[in-house]
Amino acid sequence: MRIMALDLGEKTIGVALGDPTGLIARGLEVIRRRTMEEDLKRLLALVIEYEVEKIVMGLPLNMNNTEGPGAQKARAFGEKLTSRTSIPVVFWDERLTTVAAEKLLLEADLSRAKRKKVIDKMAAVFILQNFLDKERM
């Protein structure tokens, strides 16, 4: 089963894809946000191209487990995505994934400019890998 993960931001959407065995997540791309229609069109093209069967959407919860404006935006985006496809969208706690991605990229000694280009994609990888690991348990 191919699973895709999304890290939804104001300006970009980080996209990660699981391997066919459901064991390993890898970064796929960063979508520069334009309009809702263009964003959905690109995501649906990826869903078709990679034969995705499930989408995991990062849900930015507050540290006290409540949902703030970011979580509401993620849920609204997920609903629009669901209305355009029959593929299930699952929401997954994404707290601290960007921090973990930033730490990994710093350890890899990437420049600030290079980190900025891939941080959302790496956060999506962390979201998906956490989801895949939990599913295997």
pLDDT tens string 63-78: 788 888 889 999 999 9
Residues contacting 66, CB < 8 A, separation 6+: none
C-alpha 137/C-alpha 133 separation (Å) is 7
Q: Could you give the angle at which helices 97-107 and 112-136 cross, rounded to 10 degrees? A: 120
Residues 2-136, CATH architecture: 2-Layer Sandwich (3.30)
Higher pLDDT: 88 or 122? It is 88
Q: Three-state DSSP class for 103?
A: helix
Model confidence band, residue 119 (pLDDT cutoffs 50, 70, 90): low
Chain mean pLDDT for the chain: 86
15-22 contact pairs (CB < 8 A, 24+): 15/43, 15/46, 15/121, 15/124, 16/121, 16/124, 16/125, 16/127, 16/128, 16/129, 17/46, 17/50, 17/52, 17/128, 18/128, 18/132, 22/132, 22/135, 22/136
Q: How far is CA 135 from the centre of its chain?
A: 17
- What pTM value is reported for the model? 0.85
The pLDDT value recorded for residue 135 is 83
The pLDDT value recorded for residue 81 is 93
Strand 12-18 with 25-32, pairing: antiparallel
